Amino acid sequence: MNEDVLFGKYKIIASLGRGGYSHVYLARHIMLDCLRAIKVIGKDNELHDRLVNEALILKSLHHESIPVIYDIEEDEFSSYIIEEYCKGISLAKERKQWKCADLKKIVDYSLQICDVIDYLHKTGRGILYLDLKPSNIIVRDTRLMLVDFGTAVILGEVDNMALGMGTRGYAAPEQYDVNRRPDERSDVYGIGCLISFLVSGHNPGNDLTRRTGDNGIKYAGNMCDEHKQGFKVLEEIITRCVMDDPDKRYLSVAKITESLSKLDEALSRTGEKVGVISKIFRKNPVQKRVIRHNEKLLVGVAGTHPGAGATHLAMMMAQFYSLYLNKSTAVADASVKKSLIKAGKYLPDNIEYADVSDVTYDFAILFEQGIDVVVVDFGTLKADVVNRFNKCDIKLVATDIAPWVFGEFVSFCDRYRSIGEDNMWNYVVAQCDERTLKLINDYYGCRLERTGYVTDISRLSETAIAFMTSICKKGKEKERIKRFEKKGFLE
């Protein structure tokens, strides 16, 4: 690239690679001092308009396995998509490092892929990914990231897509058939191929032997011996995913998740370690975690501005205490806008609800009714409810640090910095890279932490569970931490 600095704020560091549709560069945001990936698409590219339009759609997506798109710029010759830089290695490279096929890791990775693909299918008008392959997935710590949406298409626009999009060996047969059109089951096929790759380490096009009515799967014989029975179950899942006839496949990604979750639960019951989630209160329907703790807990959740995510965070916290700590939990609506009432249809059956918008309401009433944990949604924090908010044992402030609302966060910090410091407020953002997180914490003197994007509160992410576990350990003060440990609230 001829220019060292783009648009006066992005300094080009290196080329990350070139694909069929774009060239990707690594850049540093000069003002924020953080890394970004910049995808450059020439306006003479026949797919330019479609790729830019998809970027606009992806900009509205919020999932921890999808890179955040921060901005879209253009000049006379090209369009520039500025997105989160996902530092890590491709799934293809990581698989080569395995000494054998690790069933536990394969199941964990497969569940992550199912989660993000299911999210795409269910969001807005629905999006088909259509090119699930190891080189399109980055492993960042224990999290998988989808980094290339070049073949993704909105469900309602499938008829306009080009024939043959997708990678042979991973793409479903209907993606190459002029008489058929892809749908959600095409991504089901892709998931099966990807799981097959994780098991064998080879392009699944070489491992799947197509026969009339079913598929046989031949592996490289490098499976870990202690889990041969588990691999047989996994083979059944793969086989059903990659049937040539879409009607014989799983009808949805959610159905694959159900099958994988049963296998995951079976592995968890063996008492062996199954990754990060199982280490911190993974839900087990067969043997629930026993909690020896009679102390009541009041958790306050507020937002720095409208739309910051206070209600969603409150529901997440309630689910955590209910499902992962087996506590009798209620969410209490203290906001004027009654956000929880509007979201009533999304409230799980295992959580109680209460309207506590009356400032004279005594939370002891809920505790007397047998509730162990009350999570209070204060909505956007106003000066007249700060004292009530500070009476909570744990205080969480939901915010967003996207460029277009960052001013709201700064204004809130300036207004409440001393009060927040004195009362141990914890600021919470859904997504933020480590460097930006540290810069903000150092500059503004706040405790900003991240939960990761959670679209389905019945399945909390690893990042969310880790955050909530750390919050439990903090409590109101050092004495509370000691009481938690002594009484067995945290084992």
Interval 323-334: pLDDT, tens: 777 788 888 888
On the question of pLDDT at 489 being above 50, the answer is no
Calpha distance 205→232 (Å, rounded): 20
Calpha distance 240→364 (Å, rounded): 53
Classify residue 490 as left (phi > 0), alpha (psi -120 to 50) or beta.
beta
Reading the block at residue 448, the tokens are 């900003």
Please tell me the least confidently modeled range out of 7-16, 27-36, 61-70, 413-422: 413-422
Q: Which residues contact 153 (CB under 8 A, 6 or more apart)?
A: 127, 128, 130, 160, 161, 165, 182
pLDDT for the residue 133: 93
On the question of pLDDT at 477 being above 60, the answer is no
pLDDT for the residue 323: 78
Q: Residue 150: how many CA atoms within 13 Å on its side-chain side?
A: 24
On the question of pLDDT at 487 being above 90, the answer is no
Asked if 5 and 11 touch (Cβ cutoff 8 Å), the reply is yes
pLDDT for the residue 491: 36
Q: Rounded mean pLDDT of the chain?
A: 78
Calpha distance 462→183 (Å, rounded): 29
pLDDT > 70: what percent of the chain? 79
pLDDT for the residue 160: 63
3-state secondary structure of 441: helix
pLDDT for the residue 99: 82
On the question of pLDDT at 289 being above 80, the answer is no
Report the C-alpha dihedral over residues 163, 168, 172, 176, rounded to 10 degrees: 30
On the question of pLDDT at 215 being above 60, the answer is no
Q: What does pTM read for this prediction? A: 0.55
- Give the model's confidence band at 279: pLDDT under 50 very low, under 70 low, under 90 confident, else very high: very low
pLDDT for the residue 433: 77
User: In the beta sheet, which residues pair with residue 373?
Assistant: 297, 329
pLDDT for the residue 293: 34
Report helix angle 184-200 to 228-241, nearest 10.
Answer: 150
On the question of pLDDT at 304 being above 60, the answer is yes
| 24-41 per-position pLDDT tens digit | 899 999 988 889 999 899
Asked if 302 and 379 touch (Cβ cutoff 8 Å), the reply is yes
On the question of pLDDT at 276 being above 60, the answer is no
Mean pLDDT along residues 9-31: 86
On the question of pLDDT at 223 being above 70, the answer is no
pLDDT for the residue 218: 44
pLDDT for the residue 346: 54
Angle subtended at Cα 445 by Cα 467 and Cα 11, rounded to the nearest 5 degrees: 85
Between residues 353 and 239, the one the model is more confident about: 239
Between residues 127 and 268, the one the model is more confident about: 127
With tokens 């392959």, the residue in question is 133
- Give the model's confidence band at 107: pLDDT under 50 very low, under 70 low, under 90 confident, else very high: very high
| 419-457 per-position pLDDT tens digit | 777 777 889 988 777 787 788 877 776 778 888 777 777
pLDDT > 90: what percent of the chain? 25
Span between the terminal Cα atoms of the chain, in Å: 54
What domains can be seen in the chain, in order of their start residue? Answer: 5-84 (3.30.200.20), 89-279 (1.10.510.10), 297-486 (3.40.50.300)
Asked if 288 and 326 touch (Cβ cutoff 8 Å), the reply is yes
Between residues 73 and 434, the one the model is more confident about: 73
pLDDT for the residue 480: 43
With tokens 């080189």, the residue in question is 135
pLDDT for the residue 91: 95
- Give the model's confidence band at 176: pLDDT under 50 very low, under 70 low, under 90 confident, else very high: confident
On the question of pLDDT at 340 being above 70, the answer is no
Mean pLDDT along residues 86-100: 90
pLDDT for the residue 47: 77
